Structure formats: C-alpha cells, structure tokens
Structure 1
Amino acid sequence: MAGPYTGIDMAHYDKEERRNQQSSGYSVNADSGDSGGICAYLLTGISILLIICTFPFSLLFCIKVVQEYERAVIFRLGRLLLGGAKGPGIFFIVPCIDTYCKIDLRTVSFDVPPQEILSKDSVTVAVDAVVYYRISNATISVTNVEDYGRSTRLLAATTLRNVLGTKNLSEILSERESISHVMQASLDEGTDPWGVKVERVEIKDVRLPIQLQRAMAAEAEASREARAKLIAAEGEQKASRALREASEVLSDSPAALQLRYLQTLNSIAAEKNSTIVFPIPLELFKGFSKRMKE
C-alpha cells in the first residue's frame, strides 16, 4: 500500500518506470502463491497466523515506510511481487517470507578516476570526468545487475578511454562539450538494461605531460613574438608614409616649416627647460665642403 504522490517528478518517474518495464520486455513474476507449491502455501499460512496471533505487536514488523525519493522492491519467497516497486509512503510486508530492498531515486554524482589515455596523434594525457545519473527503473536496477553503482562507474571509466582514444589532442582540448554528449549517449545506452539513466557527463580536467606543456608554451611564445614583430613593422610602415606626406606638405610651403619650428620651441619651453635647440640647415655647410675639397 503506497501513499499519495506529492510531487510532479515522482509521478513522472512512475510513468517512466512502467513504460521502461514494457519496452524492455522485463516480465514481472506473479505473487509467490501462484506457482510456489505446497511449501509456499504452508509458509504463507504460518506467517499470516503468526501475524494474527501477535497482533498488534506484529504491525511493528509488517508496516514499512519509504520516503518520497525512495522505492521498495519486495521479494516473497525469492520471487518478485506483482506490481513492481512500492512507494512512496506506507506498504506492508509479511515477516519471514518477504524481503525488500530500498532504492534511492535521487541523482547521484561521482568522479571518474584520472585515466591515462593515448590520443589519436600518439600523445599521452590524463583526463578525469564527472558523471551524474539516477535510477529510472527500481525493479530492473535490483534484478538485472548486482551493483548498479559500481557497474556504472566501471563503464564510465571504460567509455572515457574509448571515446578519447579516437580524438586528437587539439580536439580533446577544444571539443569538450561534444565529447561529453558522445559519452553521455554511449553510457545511457549501456546502462539502460540496468535501469540507470545517465543525465550528464562533464570533462573536468585534461593534464598534459610537463615536456609537452613546455613545448606548447614555447610555440605560443614564438607565435606571439612573430605577431608582435609584424605589428611593429606595420607601424613603422605607416609612420614612414605619414612622414613622407608631411615632408611633401612642408616642401610646398616654406612658411609651414617655420611655423613647425616655432611650435617645437613652444613645446620645449612649456616643460621649463633651459636648453633650446636651433636647427641649422644643411645647405649652410655646402660652401664649407666645397672649399675643403679645393
């Protein structure tokens, strides 16, 4: 006997669980009394008689409660009860012949241990990831796999190695989101028979060897220096063009050169400097150079 649902997500989960049971072809056995034989009927009768004789103290052993985020999978004499998982709320079991297992439906996260991976371009990297999963079918997670948590962890580590082994180092560093989606789809397909739904996979860190880090740093530094030299050369080219245009303007107007000279003196005087520079035209030295040659 299960209590009423208090959340939309739990109701959606129950619909999803029934749909998964139908789509996966999993057959739920009927109550143990259907084909258990005389021994099963005898044990069931004795258990019920004990419950009646020890009433109301037997209620302490018959009534069980599971939380809103939990489900109980009940086995009677080793056979799964008809109706699948029970809960949330109150449900009844028959002592001595019933056993049950609680399954937590909340999302669980775990870290995939760092994996030493040889990429497609023969570079060794250490990669770790985070996987988020939840139970989509409580009955199948108990009956189809011994330990769904451990199995999911091992499969996640293997999938991480297989997926990243087909990628180049540049793809591993730049395409983390697409790699996460590929891993999620592969894990979800592998864990579906276990009643596990993989919700999210994230690549946490990619660690490169020290020598490779130094080589990549040297390559990046050389690339930046090359770009800096190109930018400086472009600046010199633009400055030379501007100076050529200025010289052409000054050669066309001799008064402009005098005005430029006065502006220079004004800027020097503004800094409270006692040194004044007077430019001497080179034409004045032409006469002296001719006499020295003679």
Structure 2
Amino acid sequence: MSEADSIGCVEVLATVCSIVLMVVTLPISLFLCFKVVQEYERAVIFRLGRLRSGGARGPGVFFVLPCIDNYCKVDLRTVSFDVPPQEVLTRDSVTVSVDAVVYYRIRDPLNAVVQVANYSHSTRLLAATTLRNVLGTRNLSELLTEREAISHSMQVTLDEATDPWGVQVERVEIKDVSLPDSLQRSMAAEAEAAREARAKVIAAEGEMKSSRALKEASDIMCESPAALQLRYLQTLSSIAGEKNSTIVFPLPIELIGPLMNFTSSLGVQRTTAPMGPMRFPQTGGAPSTTTSNSTPVADPGPQPSLE
C-alpha cells in the first residue's frame, strides 16, 4: 500500500472517530463545531495538517470536526504600520534619517497562511530594507523634491516582493527626512545668499527702469517748452504748499533759458578745445617754457551778465 493510501485510511478513521465523539457529546459539541467568520475575515481550514479543498471559508458560519480540524483566521482589511527611522546614505554621500508608513492588505488568504510564517512581520522587515535600497540610489535634492515618485517606486518594489505571500502593498508614504545639523546650517546659509542675490537683481532692475523713465520724461520736457513751464509751475506750487519759513522769489523761466544755452555752448567749446602746453609772456629774466607736467588753464571767456 502506498503512502498516499495509508494517509487516506488514517484520515478516514480519524474522521469517523471525530464524528462519533461529536454525537456522544451532543449538545456540547455544537459549540465546538460551528464557527463564525466576520465579513472582513476569511478562515483557512486544515484537517490533520493538510489544507482542505474549497479554499478559504467565510464570511458566515462554517463547520469543523473536533480534534482533527483547526483553522486560521485572516483579516482582509487594510493595515498600516510605521517604518522605523532608517539611516540612509544617498548617492551623493549624504547621511539622512528617513521614516515612512506602509499600507497593505491580504489579497490571497491561502498564500498568506501557507507561503510565509508571519506575513505581517515579514512585510515590515522587507519595507525597511526596501526603503534603504531605494533611497540609496537617489540624490539629496531628489529626496527632498521628488517624494511622490520615490514613494511610488517603493510601493511597486514592495508589491512585487510580497505578491507570492498574498500581500498587496497599496501605498507607501515618506513621513520625514531628518538632515544633520551641519547640513541644515549650510543649506540655510545657501538659501539666504540666494534670496539676497535675487533681491539685489530686482533692485537693480527697478533702478534701471526708473532711470529709463526719468530719461524719457526729460526728453519729452526738452522737446516741449510748455511741459517744462508746467513742471516749473508745479514745483513752485509744491514748495509754496509746504509750511516752512523759507521765502522763495520765483525767477521767470524766460531769463533762465539764455543762461542755460550759453552754459551749454561754453561746455561744448571746452570739450572741443585742443589740449597742449601753453606759453605765457615773460616780463623779465631768462625765458622759460612750461613742461608737459604743467596744468593748462583755459580762458573762461566773457562772463554772462545777469542785469
């Protein structure tokens, strides 16, 4: 007789004995034979150590034989756990401390009981190692700015590893990234320097725009004497509106115009006059000449009369 036949005979004999015992101990045995499984649970039944056919039972009431049947309940609800802080060395050789939270649920109750001894503990250990492995391939900047992509990568990796166990990893979230104090200070100094640089650039752009606007306004006033006269009157009005003890005698702008034209022409003459050594007549003694180190003095010309 083969081994399978011997096991079958033993199972039949044990089943008959269990049924006889249940009948003898009625009605007490009824409390031991009928079990209830909740809506969110499934029961995996073993008879004499062998998995019974038909898959997991539930939800509802199922029947077991005393002494030869035992069962294991599996919760199908989503379970979450925290991954302890892990010291991770990033790709750019920066040591950071990272913790995360993992959400998973049982997809196949049979594999969760048969394929792994403790699916919850195994999933926790695998999540910690996966966190270190995935973050070790990223830079610090990616770790700080691409958390969603890193979390998705961890979720895919964990789900592939736990699929033979009947466990489905639904979501992984990175909770906190702790940086060393020295690195935090250096990053704060770098950010402050960047803000100061941006502020200086903005201030310089504002001054450039302001200077350009003033130049355009001055060009418009020079082209229109009426605009210059209006600006002159506005200035007098603003000065008169101030409550101070200063007495202002306005000078007609018609008198200032010739003076401004004369000053402009004088400046042009000074600019176009050739520069070179100048000789002065000697009244007596040996003749002398000025050297190249002498400072030439130009004739200012006739002074304007304000009468």
TM-score by length of structure 2 reads 0.76
Structure 1 position 201 matched with structure 2 position 162: no
Measured in 2, the distance between the counterparts of 1:196 and 1:87 equals: 19
- Which residue does the alignment assign to 1:106? 77
- Which residue does the alignment assign to 1:186? 157
Q: Find 2:87's aligned residue among 91, 116, 129.
A: 116
Structure 1 position 41 matched with structure 2 position 19: no
Change (3 A) 1:242 1:49: same
What's the RMSD between the two structures over aligned residues? 2.6
* Larger displacement relative to structure 2 (108-117 or 33-42): 33-42
- Secondary structure of the residue aligned to 2:232 is helix
Could you tell me which amino acid in structure 2 is paired with residue 77 of structure 1? Answer: L
How far 1:258 moved relative to its partner? 2.8
Give unmatched runs, 5+ long, in structure 2: 264-299
1:211-222 equivalences in 2 (<5 Å):
211-222=182-193
How far 1:175 moved relative to its partner? 1.4
Structure 1 moving runs of 4+ over 4 Å: 267-270, 275-284
Could you tell me which amino acid in structure 1 is paired with residue 160 of structure 2? Answer: E
1:277-288 equivalences in 2 (<5 Å):
278=248
Structure 1 position 253 matched with structure 2 position 224: yes
Q: Find 1:273's aligned residue among 243, 246, 252.
A: 243
- Which residue does the alignment assign to 2:291? none
- Which residue does the alignment assign to 1:148? 119
How far 1:249 moved relative to its partner? 1.9
Measured in 2, the distance between the counterparts of 1:245 and 1:39 equals: 108
Q: Deviations over 1:76-112 (max 9, x none)?
A: 1111111111100000000111111110000001111
Change (3 A) 1:35 1:139: farther
Q: Find 1:84's aligned residue among 36, 49, 55.
A: 55
Could you tell me which amino acid in structure 2 is paired with residue 101 of structure 1? Answer: C
Change (3 A) 1:244 1:36: same
Q: Deviations over 1:218-276 (max 9, x none)?
A: 11111111111111111111111111121122223333223213223444566x63356
- Secondary structure of the residue aligned to 1:111 is strand
Measured in 2, the distance between the counterparts of 1:59 and 1:45 equals: 17
Could you tell me which amino acid in structure 2 is paired with residue 263 of structure 1? Answer: Q
> Rg: which structure is higher?
2
Measured in 1, the distance between the counterparts of 2:303 and 2:81 equals: 92
Measured in 2, the distance between the counterparts of 1:219 and 1:277 equals: 55
- Secondary structure of the residue aligned to 2:82 is strand
Structure 1 position 226 matched with structure 2 position 197: yes
Could you tell me which amino acid in structure 1 is paired with residue 155 of structure 2? Answer: Q
How far 1:34 moved relative to its partner? 6.9
Structure 1 position 134 matched with structure 2 position 105: yes
- Secondary structure of the residue aligned to 2:58 is coil
Measured in 1, the distance between the counterparts of 2:167 and 2:76 equals: 10
Measured in 2, the distance between the counterparts of 1:230 and 1:106 equals: 56
- Which residue does the alignment assign to 2:271? none
- Secondary structure of the residue aligned to 1:36 is helix
Could you tell me which amino acid in structure 1 is paired with residue 108 of structure 2? Answer: N
Q: Deviations over 1:85-142 (max 9, x none)?
A: 1100000000111111110000001111111100000011111111110001111111
Change (3 A) 1:254 1:152: same
- Which residue does the alignment assign to 1:238? 209
Measured in 2, the distance between the counterparts of 1:254 and 1:41 equals: 121
Give unmatched runs, 5+ long, in structure 1: 1-32
